[in-house]
Structure 1
Amino acid sequence: MEDERLPEVSGLAATDDGYVVVNDSSDVDNRRRIFFLDRDCAVTRTVRYPSRPRDTEDLARAPDGTIWVGDIGDNDRVRETAALWKLSPGAKSPVLHRVSYPDGAHDAEALLLSGDGTPIIVTKDSGTPGLYAPARGLRAGQTTPLRRVGQFTLPRSSTSNPFSIFGRQLVTGGAVAPDGSRVVLRTYADALEFDVTDGDVVRAVTQGTPRVIPLPDEPQGETVTYGPDGTALLTLSEKAEGESAADPVLLRYPLADREPKPSSSPGAATPAVPDDTRPDRDRAAESSQDLPGRFVGAVALTLLLLVAVGGFAIWRARRRPSGRGR
């Protein structure tokens, strides 16, 4: 993803013809947008907020195309309210809905939608994230209280990531599958996928047992979503600091034993991906792991050639006529 306006993508959703993304909090005006991308990750249009968001961390896309942006980041836990921005299909700008926690400020980076379209915030509390939902219907121009609807404990993990043990204990993003049958939450190290029954995302996360999908060594993985057909997870890291840092790369993780399912729009195409859909990082790792074997093979071949050349030289020397015969 080469667009200079997208160095810190923190929210990602797939559509039938591309993606929708938002940046983490930014002081740069042209980065504070909702960005629509094509399948090649080129920006096709942007939508402005009517007022400045504070810390957008995730987004969720409803089956009807409504986009919810979670303005829920609070690293210092000082905000009196968090916010949810709702962009309805065809709208020119999103509508702001303020929300407040019942038990003090929380930092959060994951936003989910239940089967009935209710937004669910998953906090970034270490080890045991909390789930919060509006206590009543959201209304623009008012602050809606949240209620704590549950919590869950992150499973133990040894997956390599830039933040070691801490990276395995913090939820940084989430998404619901296109057909609503599964929900995924991610840390800096792994994706945790739960089965959903009757649209009850809260029960799935708080009572279910997740399938753990390693996402090893992503630079700063804060996004996850499903592809349009639900057969793969897509992730994108924030860009590392420094002028020489590589541009973020959209990675695709195929889900085992997952048959393609139709998306919400019949006949819609899925994003184009290579035949080998593993992340490039994994292919590079396999190549590096095979280097010792290649080195041993090369040495053996060299020794064999030296022996052959030596034998040929001896054979030639024995066949060379002596000086006495001349």
Structure 2
Amino acid sequence: MRASVVGVLLVGLLAGFGGATASADPNPPVDACVLTDKRVAELSGLVADGERWYAVNDGGTKSTVYVLTRDCVVERLISGPTDPYDVEDLARAQDGTFWLSDTGDNDKKRETVALIALTPAGKTTLYRLTYPDGPHDTEALLLDRDNVPYLITKNPLGSAEIYRPAGTLASPGPTALERVGAVRMTGTDTQGGPVPPLVGSVLVTGAASMPDGSAVALRTYTDAYLYAVSDGDLLAALGKEPVRVPLPNEQQGEAIAFEPDGTLVSASEGTGQPIRTVAGAAGLIAPSPAPAPEPETPATPPAGGIDLGASDEPGGQDGLPTLPAIGLTVVIIGGALLFLRRRRTR
């Protein structure tokens, strides 16, 4: 492992590690059922409509959504002809169209990523996308009320960058993306995930929206962060201080969804893993005015907050708290890098 790589990751992770984000008293997650169907062994994206769950696998060779009953049985499949590269998340528009986020890029070498719109009848439309600043590994997708997609990157430096199309989506494209901000994820001691919490708790692995658009959530391997959305302004919502909901002891938690009643639903990759619910999660947050415009020299954003300014450094996180256990952190980072490099690349 190159020393320079370790150094960069060390600085970024130390900068991203901080105290608890937002005060709340969420209910603990409870198992709703256990998913034993091997066809959904790599569950990576999830949406809910109050009656069924809709899931996608990590990777994949078909544009397929698995329709699950509330006892974790695969009821049917919705499939389209488009062959994806690495699907990582799932969102659903108001008209019922599923949006598959074909944005996984562990090795950061894809020239384009894609969104795939899949209708309930199995028709697909492909939208290729390009980043303005080189490849990113992205595992989280949000749609605003106008169906504008927002991609949130998976960044081991703790700064999850936010991108959206710079213009109208074209099929097959590509359509250029623009960077519109970054959410700084802070480390927690919540246990779980395939890597130590110091690393796993800052990696964004999924996102979800309330069906009525009143709230959104970002999740890491270990925690969910809930944001109230006012007047449909998703970007402003991500600038507010979130409520953190711990999701402990998930093997590889990458899926998150909201039920219409505000229940949070989470799931992990792996056969025999539970789908879990947190009742009343959306009730922990309330709409509030958008934050005031930032001064010319913006202060460091709060834990879980958004950095709306451009930065020459990843996340622009100078002056944040650091950890005393430098040696231990280097060991942890080394193990995390080995894990990330060995993950299956599709």
TM-score, normalised on structure 2?
0.68
Q: d(CA) in 2 for partners of 1:8 and 1:195?
A: 29
Q: Unpaired segments of 5 or more residues in structure 2?
A: 1-34, 285-346
- Residue 252 of structure 2: aligned partner: 220
Shift of 1:93: 2.5
- Residue 321 of structure 1: aligned partner: none
Counterpart pick for 1:211 among 243, 255, 258:
243
- Opposite residue 116 of structure 1, the aligned amino acid is D
Counterpart pick for 1:101 among 123, 131, 136:
131
Runs (4+) of structure 1 moved beyond 4 Å?
Answer: none
- Residue 10 of structure 1: aligned partner: 44
Aligned-CA RMSD value = 1.7
Question: Comparing 174-183 with 5-14, which one deviates more in the overlay?
Answer: 174-183
Q: Is contact 1:178–1:229 with CA below 8 Å preserved after alignment?
A: no
1:114 aligns with 2:139: no
- Residue 187 of structure 1: aligned partner: 220
Give 3-state SS (helix, strand or coil) of 1:203's partner: helix
Shift of 1:161: 2.0
Shift of 1:130: 0.5
Q: d(CA) in 1 for partners of 2:129 and 2:221?
A: 26
Counterpart pick for 2:273 among 245, 248, 268:
248
Q: Unpaired segments of 5 or more residues in structure 1?
A: 240-245, 260-326
The 5 Å alignment of 1:1-326 reads: 1-26=35-60, 33-88=64-119, 90-126=120-156, 127-162=158-193, 163-164=195-196, 165-205=198-238, 207-230=239-262, 232-239=263-270, 247-255=272-280, 258=283
- Structure 1 vs Structure 2: percent identity of aligned residues? 43
- For residues 145-169 of structure 1, the C-alpha deviation after alignment (integer angstroms, 9 at most, x for no partner) is 1011111211342211242211011
- Opposite residue 93 of structure 2, the aligned amino acid is A
Higher relative contact order (CA 8 A, sep 6+): 2
- Opposite residue 224 of structure 2, the aligned amino acid is A
Shift of 1:69: 0.6
Q: d(CA) in 2 for partners of 1:62 and 1:213?
A: 25
Q: d(CA) in 1 for partners of 2:39 and 2:72?
A: 12
- Structure number, greater radius of gyration: 1
Q: d(CA) in 2 for partners of 1:123 and 1:257?
A: 23
- For residues 112-133 of structure 1, the C-alpha deviation after alignment (integer angstroms, 9 at most, x for no partner) is 0112110110000120010110
Shift of 1:256: 5.3
Shift of 1:51: 3.0
Q: d(CA) in 1 for partners of 2:280 and 2:110?
A: 38
